[in-house]
Amino acid sequence: MTKKCIYVKTKDHEYPIFIGKNIFENKSNFDFFSSGNRLILVTNNTIEKCWKKKIINNILMYPVLLDEFILPDGESYKNLDSVNLLLSYLLKNNHNRNSILLALGGGVIGDLTGFVASIYQRGIKFIQVPTTLLSQVDAAIGGKTGVNHILGKNMIGTFYQPSAVFTDINFLFTLPKRQLISGFAEVIKYAISFNFNFFLWIEKNFVNLLSMNLNDLLYCIRTCCEIKSHIVHLDEREKGMRALLNLGHTYGHAIEAYFKYSYWLHGEAVSIGMVMACRTAELLGLISTTTVTRVINLLNQFGLPVYAPKNMLPEKYIQYMLRDKKNTTNGINLILPCDIGKTEIFKNIDQKIIISAIKLCYRS
């Protein structure tokens, strides 16, 4: 078994991220379970078919009582209706403050489960078991929980840290290729935003990553987790530096919301959003056209989308971007690259520049 443990430390909380292969087989990872703990496995019907039996068999080695709650698969179910279903399930089955929610899934399951954990009886424990690359490198870490609203993504939620994160690379080998590739958008985001040397490493090793080389995947995941855990430690509630993790997300969230969370995967929308952010930075004179091209080339190497959806007009982005959580005035604040490895927050960006940048992102 290969294992690497990283700790996330906030002002009031500390928890481990276990990263490796077959990590559920190590009982020492679960020493926070007490005899008689009631554990609720929360997952979706796709993961249930692939992993539920194996996960349940592993969990039952520990002194816990197990229930399960299954949701349909898809971003469109990340809403208050699903929250109410899970809350009703917990109440009907008499779960109390000693119950523990276990989120087995990607960002949808993790965010929704964490949100319910934060509000059920004013807060119960939950554990993240991310099954997608995107959730392993990003969504499962840092305590952002929440659900979508038809008018905006992740507009309803809390900051609420898990008790632990169990990142097992085995999950990635049953992941559909499109989902795997989507996750690499968040990996590339970390490199553009914080670490030029990591960007160079990804450029050099993209073939190994796409072919699921074990050592390179583990290094990639570990690096992203180390970056995010450091940032969460410095800025848990996104008052400043943590906002830099949102490169490309303001544009990407607009795409997801416009299409009602039914077509574009999160990583795909973020990939397009990062190109738009680069084009905006280019128009503002922050980066060169050569740098923009280099970013686009890397996204292309992974098969990620780099063109704006042709059936979404540039002006349509603005109404969603104005609702973005990073905005502190009536204007639009954006995370923009100043170089590969460095991003900054820019406030009240002229909407004409944003629209001009988006127009540069359509396929000619």
pLDDT tens, residue by residue, 101-152: 999 999 999 999 999 999 999 999 999 999 999 999 999 999 999 999 988 8
Rounded Cα–Cα distance for residues 262 and 77 (Å): 10
Q: How far is CA 244 from CA 295, 315, 333, 335, 342, in A?
A: 17, 24, 11, 6, 9
pLDDT in tens, 144-187: 999 999 888 899 999 999 999 999 999 999 999 999 999 999 99
Return the active site residues: 122, 144, 186, 228, 238, 242, 246, 249, 253, 266
pLDDT in tens, 276-329: 999 999 999 999 999 999 999 999 999 999 999 999 999 999 999 998 877 777
Instruction: Answer yes or no: are the C-beta atoms of 124 and 100 closer than 8 Å.
Output: yes
pLDDT in tens, 53-105: 888 888 877 778 899 999 999 999 999 999 999 999 999 999 999 999 999 99
Rounded Cα–Cα distance for residues 356 and 280 (Å): 8
Q: What is the pLDDT of residue 324?
A: 84
* Closest among 213, 214, 209 to 184, alpha carbons compared: 209
Mean pLDDT of 195-202: 98
Mean pLDDT of 175-204: 98
Tokens of 231: 């940032």
Q: What is the pLDDT of residue 55?
A: 86
Q: What is the pLDDT of residue 323?
A: 87
pLDDT in tens, 208-252: 999 999 999 999 999 999 999 999 999 999 999 999 999 999 999
Rounded Cα–Cα distance for residues 324 and 234 (Å): 22
Instruction: Answer yes or no: are the C-beta atoms of 160 and 118 closer than 8 Å.
Output: yes
Longest dimension (CA), the chain: 62
Bridge partners (DSSP) of residue 7 are 16
More confident residue, 191 or 324: 191
pLDDT in tens, 1-36: 445 799 999 999 999 999 999 887 776 777 667 767
Mean pLDDT of 251-276: 96
Rounded Cα–Cα distance for residues 184 and 209 (Å): 9
